[in-house]
Amino acid sequence: MSRSAWNDALALLEDDLSRRDAAPRTRRAYGVDLAQFARWADERHLQPQAVGPRDVRRYIALLSEGSAAPSTTARKLAALRALFTSQREHGLIAQNPADLVSTPRRSSYLPRVLKAKEAARLLDAIPADGPLNQRDRALFELAYSCGLRAEELVSLKAADIDYDGEQLRVEGKGRKTRYLPVGEVAMAALRLYVERGRNGLAAPTTPGERAGDPEALFLSKTGKPLGTSDVRRRLRAWAIHAQIPGGATPHALRHSFATHLLDGGADLRSIQELLGHASVSTTQVYTRVESARLRSAYARSHPRA
């Protein structure tokens, strides 16, 4: 059987996602996951219009038997739901077969959180001498001050900083824009980097070489915009330098930002808005972190715990 029916279905979904301005990362992930399902279905001579709930369940069960993590199978099922939603919206099927398949239960996950003193030690260990160190100090001060995702950090433009208002314009998931307050320490690190360090990274190093990206806020030593892998690599190096037990990731800084706000008395709805979560249910993981911390403190301290 020709793969053209699946190619057409995938192309139709890609058009729908582009029209809705879905993030490139989401579109790439859906493309990879759905190409895998298309190969599986094609081997069984199933066209898109012939796939039923039983077929989707069988595929999800196969993934689980192959030791795929619940989060992986949940992601692939979400991609299938998007594909068949596209087919239904265009009148090619009457019902979405993936809607009738339950999402695999994910294991309870408590995010890695740095203690406030650990976060301070990590950031204070980054010196402010030279463009690269000034960049890293500003990068991670901002990550912790605003709770940014790695993707959001590398997507920042120089024009996104409002120095007078001490705030930052961030384009998050789903291309949703939010404005975040920036702490004094992070703002000072940003000013130092922009005024002294960034120009050194953006300037050509050899005659005839093009200057670095004129818009990107955080640049590499060659003047190109940083990637998320660069951010993780640099943070890992500084965590080792600062002797942070267990290391640190950009996501750990984001989780620490939210947990420390909760510890300080911030309400969950405000934390939701600062993190850019679409639903407060996503933010509620931090109440589990706080609850676990309190239970631990109780167990250590109460004479009859």
CATH for 240: 1.10.443.10
The answer to whether the CB of 250 falls within 8 A of the CB of 143 is yes
User: What is the residue range of 265's domain?
Assistant: 116-300
Are 121 and 216 part of one and the same domain? yes
Structural domain ending residue among the three candidates 60, 76, 100 = 100
Structural domain ending residue among the three candidates 68, 100, 132 = 100
305 belongs to a structural domain: no
Are 287 and 196 part of one and the same domain? yes
149 catalytic residue (yes or no): yes
The answer to whether the CB of 119 falls within 8 A of the CB of 258 is no
106 belongs to a structural domain: no
Q: Which of 254, 288, 295, 298 is catalytic?
A: 254
Are 247 and 283 part of one and the same domain? yes
Give, in order, the Cα–Cα distances in Å from 69 to each of 57, 62, 284: 16, 12, 22
User: What digits encode the pLDDT tens for the residues 212-265?
Assistant: 567 999 999 989 999 999 999 999 999 999 999 989 999 999 999 988 988 888
302 catalytic residue (yes or no): no
90 catalytic residue (yes or no): no
* Cα distance between residue 118 and residue 237, in whole Å: 15
Are 142 and 237 part of one and the same domain? yes
157 catalytic residue (yes or no): no
User: Which residue is listed with tokens 């403190």?
Assistant: 297
What integer pLDDT is reported at residue 30 of this predicted model?
Answer: 93
Are 124 and 257 part of one and the same domain? yes
User: Which residue is listed with tokens 């099922």?
Assistant: 77
User: What digits encode the pLDDT tens for the residues 70-97?
Assistant: 888 889 999 999 999 999 999 999 999 9
For residue 75, which of 63, 93, 67 has the smallest C-alpha distance? Answer: 63
Structural domain ending residue among the three candidates 47, 66, 100 = 100
pLDDT beneath 70, residues of the chain: 1-3, 105-111, 203-213, 280-282, 284, 286-298, 301-305
Domain count, the chain: 2
What integer pLDDT is reported at residue 230 of this predicted model?
Answer: 95
41 belongs to a structural domain: yes
230 belongs to a structural domain: yes
30 catalytic residue (yes or no): no
What integer pLDDT is reported at residue 1 of this predicted model?
Answer: 39
Are 139 and 164 part of one and the same domain? yes
49 belongs to a structural domain: yes
Are 193 and 254 part of one and the same domain? yes
Are 87 and 134 part of one and the same domain? no
Are 154 and 208 part of one and the same domain? yes
What integer pLDDT is reported at residue 154 of this predicted model?
Answer: 94
254 catalytic residue (yes or no): yes
Are 148 and 13 part of one and the same domain? no
Are 126 and 20 part of one and the same domain? no
Are 192 and 81 part of one and the same domain? no
